[in-house]
């Protein structure tokens, strides 16, 4: 015996409303179904109610999006205004923390000075994308403003190290190397107190 296939879960609401109306149209005056249960009037009412609720929900979503946009704009305006007020408080108070706090605002913590920086850890030397290029990568050092890189042919000695560049990131390329030659590399962090200790060296043969 054949079974009815509805697939209601797969239908978005507008298509479901259309399907309900299609069924009502097809069954109206259909001698095969003289006494439908529930009645076709009930199905029509359900379709009308679903369509109304769907339209109401769509309008509510649009209104919510508009209100959220207005909220975001208001928040940005409020942030800008209080930031400007904070600048006034800083200037008018002369940097007096007690006066700043009396305005209902908090005082920034004074950062602790960073002394001599430690040697960067985790230095690795990788083959670069270009001939004669080695890419260096290491762990960042807290308080570092920049990093200096050095290179040396194998074997490294106290006088064989040469500058290989400066970078503000905890990685950098070393270029202009001779293919087939083994090189050693080391890096050091530079902070407010000057250059820190050199890292443990890493080696790689240039391609």
Question: Would you say residue 116 lies in a domain?
Answer: no
Looking at the structure of the chain, the number of domains it has is: 2
Last residue of a domain, one of 83, 109, 143: 83
3-state per-residue secondary structure call for 146-187: EEEEEEEECCCCCCCCEEEEEECCCEEEECCCCCCCEEEEEE
pLDDT confidence of residue 164 = 95
Question: Would you say residue 146 lies in a domain?
Answer: yes
Burial 15-50 (b: 16+ CB within 10 A, else e): ebbeebeebbeeeeeeeeeeeeeeebeebbeebeee
Q: What is the pLDDT of residues 23-42, one digit of tens each?
A: 999 999 999 999 999 999 99
Average pLDDT along the chain: 93
Distance, CA of 193 to CA of 187 (rounded, Å)? 17
pTM of the shown model: 0.48
Last residue of a domain, one of 27, 57, 83: 83
Residue range 15-19: mean pLDDT, rounded: 95
* Domain coverage including residue 173: 124-205
CATH of the domain at 146: 2.60.40.10
């Amino acid at each position: 015996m054949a079974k009815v296939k509805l697939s209601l879960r797969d239908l978005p609401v507008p298509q479901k409303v259309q399907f309900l109306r299609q069924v009502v149209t097809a069954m109206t005056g259909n001698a095969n179904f003289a006494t439908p249960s529930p009645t076709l009037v009930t199905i029509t009412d359900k379709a009308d109610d679903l369509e109304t609720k769907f339209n109401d929900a769509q309008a509510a979503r649009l209104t919510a999006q508009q209100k959220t946009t207005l909220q975001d704009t208001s928040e940005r305006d409020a942030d800008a205004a209080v930031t400007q007020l904070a600048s006034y408080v800083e200037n008018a108070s002369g940097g007096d923390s007690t006066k700043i706090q009396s305005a209902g605002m908090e005082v920034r913590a004074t950062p602790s000075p960073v002394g001599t920086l430690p040697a960067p850890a985790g230095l690795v030397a990788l083959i670069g994308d270009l001939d004669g290029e080695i890419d260096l990568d290491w762990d960042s050092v807290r308080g570092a403003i920049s990093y200096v890189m050095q290179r040396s042919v194998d074997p490294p000695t106290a006088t064989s190290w040469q500058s290989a560049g400066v970078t503000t990131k905890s990685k950098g390329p070393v270029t202009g190397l001779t293919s087939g030659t083994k090189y050693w590399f080391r890096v050091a962090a530079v902070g407010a107190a000057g250059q820190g200790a050199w890292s443990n060296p890493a080696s790689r043969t240039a391609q």
